[in-house]
Structure 1
Amino acid sequence: MNKSFRFFVTSALLLSPLFSLANFDFNNNCLNAYKSIFELKLGNARAYISTEKKLHPNNSIIPLLENYIDYFTVLTSESKADFDRLKGNKSSRLDQISDDDKSSPYYLYAQAEINLQWALIRGRFGEYFNAAMEVKRANSLLQDNNKKFPNFHLNLKGLGLINAVLGNLPDGALKKALSTFGIKGNLQSGLNMFEKLADNLPKSSYEPFYEEVVFYYAYVLTDVAHSPQAYAKTMKYTERIADTSLLKSYLQSYVCIKNSHSDEAIAILAKRPEGGVYQPFPYLDYLEGIARLNKLDLNAATYFNRFLQATKGVNFVKDAYLHLGWISLLKGDKAGYTAFAAKAVKNGYTYMEKDKQAKSEAAAGTPTLDLLKARLLFDGGYLNRALQLLDDKKAGDYTNEKDKTEFNYRLGRIYDDLGKDEQALAAYQETINIGRNLKYYFAANAALQMGKVYERKKNEAKAKEAFNTAIAMKNHEFESSIESQAKAGLRRLANN
């Protein structure tokens, strides 16, 4: 390459906002590695990084990309062994970056990203204090970077995530640790940042980072904001992602299941890309099991068993065993249910709320069959089938307070989603009347849902009353999650 041409190429790279200086060089090798990571082709990504190390061993984008690989390795495996093996890589990567060019927008950004990725992973394994320290560090780095480089759009990705998660964090160990550092967020600000990025990135030179933005945005909409727009927005923004991306299959199927589109989730998972080039992702079999059982398809057992055989992880094991127990019960095999319930209590861990709940339900005795069926069908979006199961029954048909409460709760949720507001409100109120002093989540969540109905109906006084009722109930399942959603409802009303 002659000197003048080399100067032209170098100048072109420096002028592009993606490519700052030689030691933070998001060149073609790095872009290909990054694209492979977000298709979950981690082996391909490692090959591109290996090539880049030979060509440009001092490129400080390399440790950032290697951290992405560790992040998705642990995310897909859910393995504590992987987590313990890989978390030691963090400090050496930060050391390499911190010795580099401070005038690049990637200097602080890359350090923030590595801290934030480890914070997200630590939260899955109960290391809340360390996660809080990393969120604090990431937030500080991104705030500084945003002041120095206000036109570097990628700052908004991390800041959006921090704002959203911290703005709606349930009470618990992580929130307590973060409050120690005085860090607060704003959910709506975080959502606005993601919306702006998702709309504008495809039209900019930052387009290669679109898939990562959508990955985090879908998570925030679904699991943090519990947004009624989560399904529509996730499907809209993932549409332009290539079908060769296994991450796309995961995002779409997950949001479909969480928003009662089970048939669509099954169709998406059936078409997911496969082959040795993709990272093993046993959780997708678990998701397919959920989607199939939500339509009372007993072949769901195949997928739960496949998940349990393949997973090396610590999460969703209890929940998978509980679902296998339900399948036994639906087949009329009560002894089978008892055996799987015992496994749900004994095996796996309780880092995730799903597994805590599964352990609690497995220890609580055999569920009532028609209420279980109605629950599953409701979760799958099969509202009329669910209603048919309960339509000719009344609370007095059940012998204990738990079942009476759950009967009214299930009816309320079904009526709510069918748009029958008055019937839903009546059923929710009855749920609260019977169940407000029980340890189950039915009454508190009925109050939360009641608040949302009144919010939709523009009855602010009744909505506030219902949200406050949800907050006032204590010592029940999902207390912190329900309370945080009710508080978010009160904030929405205050801002209107």
Structure 2
Amino acid sequence: MTKFKDKVKHRWPYRVIVHLNYRKQNFMPQIKILNSKLSLAVLLLFLPGPLFAKFDFNANCLKAYQLVFELKLNAARQMITAEKKMNPDNAIVPLLENYADFFQLLTSDSKEDFNRLKGNKSARLDQISDDDAKSPYNLYAQAEINLQWALIRGRFGEQFNAAMEIKKANSYLQENAKKFPAFHLNLKGLGLINAVLGSLPDGFMKNTLSTFGIKGNTKSGLAMMQKLADALPKSTYEPFYEEVIFYYSFVLTDVTHSENAYAETMKYAARISDASLLKSYLKAYVSAKRGHNEEAIKTLAERPSGSQYQAFPYLDYLMGVARLNKLDFSAANYFNKFLQGNKGVSYVKDSYLHLAWMELLSGDGKGYQLYAEKVKSAGYTLHERDKQALSEVMSGAPNTGLLKARLLFDGGYYSKSLEVLSGVKEAELGQLKDKTEYHYRLGRNNEELGKLDEALEHYQKAVQYGKGLKAYFAANSALFMGKIYMKKKNFGQAKASFNTAINMKGHQYENSIESQARDSLKRLN
């Protein structure tokens, strides 16, 4: 979108005739331009607006949309307010207002903001549903608003309402795809719903949606999103590219745990403007999750800053995690900065856990205990990382050698992690949990370094030691064994390993591990 940056300040000043062809075989509308001197690329940016009088995605709206995705929310809201005054009947405005609320809640993670803003939903949907039913933006906008609120509600524990909103969004998008098969923005929401629900573990959300016949298909969802990501730069819907990549990268990283998540994210994010703070977040998050720690630190250090950007305390937390993953204790500054600026419900316990670890690694047992008490008393347990943090301090202080190896592995420093593990003697590990983790860490590092036979040997020992433990090491070892056997085309052993992972119950991350194992079994079958 950067190439259009200075060209969206005014409405389209020239006459354009747009011929729509909504046959299935045509991916986008056909266009005829009367002024041949004008660049086609510039025209395409303005195409969504003139199509429908009451859903006017004009230059002002497109600029506001761009500002939202750069996380310049104040400027975006100002433009939305101005558009509302000039065109009070423009039904795109409530959709843009919802985008701004969505990203405010994503960045603030504030329950107070959530309780204040969620009341806006109904009025926005009413305005849109009463407007032009012949426009593909009618059902699409209603679906988007429902889907955005479903994603946010999940962060604050409102699972039932989230399930109902996903049901509505799916219904609207399915109907819109039938009415307007060439309106391919439908693929964004349908792809996201299918990918997420197809990988959803057994539980309240999955069971609730299953009663309505909504099950999802991860493979189909990914295919939809990838198709859209590839097609948008060459289409009239290019301005929506950044949003599609945002969701696509999230699905690859957190839903399907794809080995290609980092490479795909870097490839697709390359054409997004460096002025986008959302781009920095996306690149740093995926880099940190996929073991590219130095890239995460570099991205966060060079991220755009200034009063025009929305406050985003999570980025300080992420920098703290990345620095500690290379055993850089300046990480404490970033965790403390996060805790001071944070108004949200997530990562508080986990931040105190990381601060406790630094005290332990520095040899200060009392300091560790002080922060361990903070883990128990502060924050919430809505996020999985905070649940895990509480579970870990309740289990007692970790072995420092295993802790160092864990951190280095998480940062992608696999050889250094193995060096640390070489100094840990299994015979000196008194607890069964520590013996299990020891072999799990050896397995993980060897696998990442391509030593698959060594990895299998250690994973097997982790499974033997840890079958009855609440720690996730044994179940995750069985899962990774299955994936290695799939690579080796030993499908019988792969199936047995995945079933072993599924049959282990009552451990940490049970739903996530079981979900991945079941998805792998589906691919085997």
Q: What range is the shorter-chain TM-score in?
A: over 0.9
Amino acid at match of 1:18: P
| Aligned position for 2:155 | 124
The corresponding residue for 1:18 is 48
- 1:186 and 2:220 are equivalent in the alignment: no
In structure 2, what is the Cα distance between the partners aligned to 1:27 and 1:142? 23
Give the corresponding residue for 1:471. Answer: 502
CA-to-aligned-CA distance 1:303-344 (integer Å, 9 cap, x gap): 000000001001111101101111111111111111111111
TM-score in terms of structure 1 length: 0.97
| Match among 265, 285, 295 for residue 254 of structure 1 | 285
Tell whether 2:287 aligns with 1:235: no
Given candidates 173, 176, 183, the residue that maps to 1:145 is 176
Q: Which residue of 2 aligns with 1:290?
A: 321
Structure 2 CA distance, aligned partners of 1:173 and 1:380? 34
* TM-score in terms of structure 2 length: 0.91
Q: Return closer, same or farther for 1:13/1:338 CA change in 2, 3 Å cut-off.
A: farther
In 2, distance between residues paired with 1:170 and 1:338?
Answer: 35
What is the CA-CA distance between 1:10 and the residue it aligns to? 7.2
Give 1:307's match in structure 2, choosing from 338, 352, 355.
338
Report the Cα distance in structure 2 between the residues aligned to 1:345 and 1:170, rounded to whole angstroms.
27
Aligned to 2:69: 38
Q: Supply the distance in 2 between the matched residues of 1:130 and 1:11 (Cα, whole angstroms).
A: 43
SS in 2 for 1:226: coil
Supply the distance in 1 between the matched residues of 2:124 and 2:307 (Cα, whole angstroms): 28
State the AA in 1 paired with 2:316: D
1:442 Cα deviation from its structure 2 partner: 0.4
Determine which of 331, 348, 367 is the counterpart of 1:336. 367
The residue type paired with residue 432 of structure 1 is: V
Q: Using the alignment, how far apart are the partners of 1:48 and 1:10 within structure 2?
A: 24
Does the aligned pair in 2 maintain the 1:128–1:177 contact within 8 Å? Answer: no
- Cα shift at 1:430: 0.2
Shift of 1:8: 7.3
Equivalent pair of 1:163/1:187 in contact (CA under 8 Å): yes
Deviation at 1:389, TM superposition (A): 1.0
Aligned match of 2:202: 171
| Equivalent-residue separation in structure 1 for 2:16 and 2:226 (angstroms) | 33
What's the CA shift string for 1:377-396, capped at 9, x where partnerless?
A: 00000111110111244422
Is 1:206 matched up with 2:237? Answer: yes
Deviations 1:356-380 (A, max 9, x none): 1011112211111000000000000
- 8 Å Cα contact 2:206-2:215 kept in structure 1: no
Match of 1:85 among 87, 107, 116: 116
For residue 377 of structure 2, the aligned residue among 330, 334, 346 is: 346
Cα distance in 1 for residues equivalent to 2:52 and 2:210: 37
Structure 1 unmatched runs, 5+: 1-5
* Structure 2 CA distance for partners of 1:304 and 1:287, relative to 1, 3 Å: same
SS of 2:202's equivalent in the other structure is coil
Structure 1 counterpart of 2:156, which letter?
A: F
Once the two structures are overlaid, the 10-residue window that deviates more, 323-332 or 202-211, is 323-332
Question: What is the rounded CA distance, in whole Å, between the counterparts of 1:9 and 1:45 in structure 2?
Answer: 27
Counterpart amino acid of residue 288 in structure 2: I
Q: Which residue of 1 aligns with 2:98?
A: 67
Q: Retained in 2: the 8 A contact 1:401–1:434?
A: yes
For residues 209-228 of structure 1, the aligned pairs below 5 Å read: 209-228=240-259
**Counterpart check, 1:427 vs 2:458:** yes
The alpha-carbon distance between structure 1 residues 393 and 323, as it changes in their structure 2 partners (threshold 3 A), is closer
| Matches of 1:168 and 1:88, distance apart in 2 | 30
Give the aligned CA root-mean-square deviation in angstroms.
1.4
Count of matched residue pairs: 489
| Corresponding residue to 2:79 among 48, 51, 55 | 48
Cα deviation for residue 11 of structure 1 reads: 4.7
**1:360 corresponding residue in structure 2:** 391
What residue number does 2:89 align with?
58
Letter in 2 for 1:449: F
> C-alpha separation between the residues in 2 aligned to 1:177 and 1:126?
15
**Quick one: which amino acid aligns to residue 372 of structure 2?**
A
Q: Which amino acid aligns with 1:75?
A: L
Compute the displacement of 1:55 (Å): 1.2
Q: 1:413 aligns with which of 433, 444, 455?
A: 444
Letter of the 2:436 partner, please give it: T
Report the counterpart of residue 415 of structure 2 in structure 1: 384
Partner Cα distance (2:13, 2:484) in 1: 63
Alpha-carbon distance between aligned partners in 2 of 1:169 and 1:333, rounded to the nearest angstrom: 41
Q: Which structure 2 segments of 5+ residues have no match? A: 1-11, 21-28, 32-46
8 A contact 2:317–2:338 mirrored in 1: yes
Which residue of 2 is the match for residue 3 of structure 1? none
Secondary structure at 2:274's aligned position in 1? coil
Alpha-carbon separation, structure 1, partners of 2:252 and 2:425: 36
CA distance in 1 between counterparts of 2:313 and 2:371 reads 20
| Alpha-carbon distance in 1 for matches of 2:205, 2:347 | 20
Alignment-mate amino acid for residue 106 of structure 2: L
CA shift, 1:44, in A, is: 1.0
- For residues 432 and 207 of structure 1, the distance between their equivalents in structure 2, rounded to whole angstroms, comes to 49
AA aligned opposite 2:400: L
- Aligned partners of 1:277, 1:9: CA distance in 2, in Å? 35
Partners of 2:482 and 2:498 within 8 A in 1: yes
How many Å separate the matches in 1 of 2:460 and 2:189?
41
Letter in 1 for 2:483: K
Deviations 1:286-313 (A, max 9, x none): 0000100000000000000000000100
Return the letter of the residue paired with 1:434.
Y
Change in CA separation of 1:420 and 1:29 when aligned onto 2, cut-off 3 Å:
same
How far did 1:268 drift? 0.5
> Counterpart of 1:50 in 2: which secondary structure?
helix
> Counterparts of 1:281 and 1:187 in 2: how far apart (Å)?
30
2:211 counterpart letter in structure 1: T
**Secondary structure, aligned partner of 1:24:** coil
Amino acid at match of 2:201: P
Partner of residue 371 from structure 1, selected from 388, 398, 402: 402
Cα distance between partner residues in 2 of 1:173 and 1:322: 29
Report the structure, 1 or 2, having the larger helix content.
Answer: 1
How far apart are the structure 2 equivalents of 1:135 and 1:219? 17
